[in-house]
Amino acid sequence: MSEGASALELIFSGDSDLYSIVGLSLYVSLSAVALAAVVGFPLGAFLALVNFPGRSFVVVVLNAFMGLPPVVVGLAVFLLLSRSGPLGFLGILFTPRAMIVAQALLVLPIIAALARQTIEDLWTEYRDELTAMRIGPAGRVATLLYDARFSLMTTLLAGFGRAAAEVGTVMIVGGNIDGFTRTMTTAIALETSKGDLPLAMGLGIVLISLVIAVNGIAWGVRRYGELRAG
Amino acid sequence: MSRRQFVLGLALATVLGLAPASAQEKSIVVSSTTSTTDSGLFNHILPLFKQKTGIDVKVVSQGTGQALDTGRRGDSDVVLVHARAQEEKFVADGFGVKRYPVMYNDFVLIGPKSDPAGINGTKDIAAALKAIAAKDAPFISRGDKSGTHSAELRLWKAAGIDIAKEKGDWYKEIGQGMGAALNTASASNGYVLSDRATWINFKNRGELQIAVEGDDRLFNQYGVMLVNSEKHKHVKKAEGQAFIDWLISAEGQKAIADYKINGQQLFFPNATARGA
């Protein structure tokens, strides 16, 4: 357990670099998931409730995009945000904001596709009731999103897992700048390239523990909510 | 919690998520090579520069080819790399203002202790490469247009070998950074060309050791350039030039010389040397 030991030393020695890296990882991935949810939940609900020509095609593409290669998303966002690209005037390449945008794009299909499935299933159950109550489309979306909130939390966690684990977009778009855009995953890649495999593995264990902790908290919140909601 | 609060909460989380990550302070982006970062040099000299000027230097470490491209696109303010021909082209094309020599170190040929090509301890890099090719001994190439990759291709040429034509299964181009190439060589007991600084700082050596060193052709010069603000208006000209001026000043040069690992000096300042 020399790998785990060196990581534990880092944690308990109060290594401020490690804490800032962990903090940035959480900040970027949680923000990306929140951003993706704001767009993805309504989009998923829309696809679940509204029939339009080409809907099946959109659903298939959305499902397929759940497996978007991070490195491709990273490259696309890089080209957009580069000073020589169309959004270069923003000047946010190599900043945490760019990383959030890139991860949000990566996670959006996962959240939208899973939300669509959840809401569509719930819709078959609620259809008659909501139709009888003459609730309009916006009200239907809001009701379904609210009643599906516990299942949708799992959707958010799937998105978070994806964001926290990926290295492709944050490396390209963030640049792995020490103390500014270095995340857990890019730090692991860097230590691996320095040949410090025990430290890299230790950081990997820290990252996995972190993801487990976030999931544990979410599970607790959900249980508490379910108990209160009866 | 009402539906409206739920949606509002999500929206709020998003806005917070996009709030500025750090207060505005004077900073520049430097695109540089993996060798300067992996060796730990920047961690040593940047705090000294910041203390003096208050300017925060953000380093993006890439291969020399990519680092120059980052500057060409206007995504960095200063470029610090090690491939003179490419640097001079960068300036000639108008993307860089002027090239300043900063420091040098040298390349070393790394190989396994078993030494299938029989070159351990020799000095003639051309002869060593010929022996590797003749014996089809495993060789790991960066293959990523980095400064070290350019140097490797130049050395094959010096050995009279047209590597593009003569490469076989023994020659593996991995298209990755110096550390990854050393990891690959370590795992497959191959030969690999490395800059000395990355090698000294590299931990996963396995059976690897220095096979060939000390040839004049293994000299490795680093140069620094400010990205031309005529091409990219937003380039932080004053701060970028301040960094370059500091690097080539007596103080900056001393900071570079003072960086040592296990008592070994990694980079040798030579800003004042002529023709470097």
Domains of chain A: 2-229 (1.10.3720.10)
Q: Do B58 and A82 touch (CB under 8 A)?
A: no
DSSP state for residue B273 in the 8-state scheme: S
Taking residues A179-200, what's their average pLDDT? Answer: 91
- CATH numeric code, B27-103+221-269: 3.40.190.10
In A, which residues are within 8 Å of B3 by CB distance? 142-143, 145-146
The CATH number of domain B106-218, selected from 3.40.190.10, 1.10.10.10, 3.30.310.50, 1.10.12.10: 3.40.190.10
Alpha-carbon Rg for chain B, nearest whole angstrom, is: 22
Return the structure tokens found at B64. Answer: 């020399």
For residue range B231-246, list pLDDT tens digits in order.
Answer: 999 999 999 999 999 9
Q: Do B61 and A142 touch (CB under 8 A)?
A: no
Nearest Cα residue to B103 out of B241, B258, B212, B264: B258
Contact B132, B119 (CB under 8 A): yes
Whether B262 shows a pLDDT value over 60: the answer reads yes
Contact A31, A100 (CB under 8 A): yes
- CA distances in angstroms from A193 to B69, B70, B92, listed in the order given: 22, 21, 33
Taking residues A12-22, what's their average pLDDT? Answer: 77
Taking residues A8-12, what's their average pLDDT? Answer: 63
Residue B19 binned pLDDT confidence (cut-offs 50, 70, 90): very low
CA-CA distance, A218 to B54, in Å (whole number)? 42
Most confident of A170-184, B8-22, B31-45: A170-184
- Asked casually if ipTM beats, i.e. exceeds, 0.85, the reply is no
CA-CA distance, B256 to B245, in Å (whole number)? 14
Q: Do B201 and A143 touch (CB under 8 A)?
A: no
- Closest-CA distance of chain B to residue A176, Å: 6
CA-CA distance, B183 to A192, in Å (whole number)? 8
Residue B166 CB neighbour total at 10 angstroms: 10
**Domain-wise residue ranges, chain B:** 27-103+221-269, 106-218
Q: What is the pTM of this model?
A: 0.86
Whether B40 shows a pLDDT value over 90: the answer reads no
Q: Do B14 and A31 touch (CB under 8 A)?
A: yes
The strand pairing partners of B107, in sequence order, are: B195
The strand ranges marked E within B93-218 are 96-112, 139-141, 171-173, 191-195, 208-212
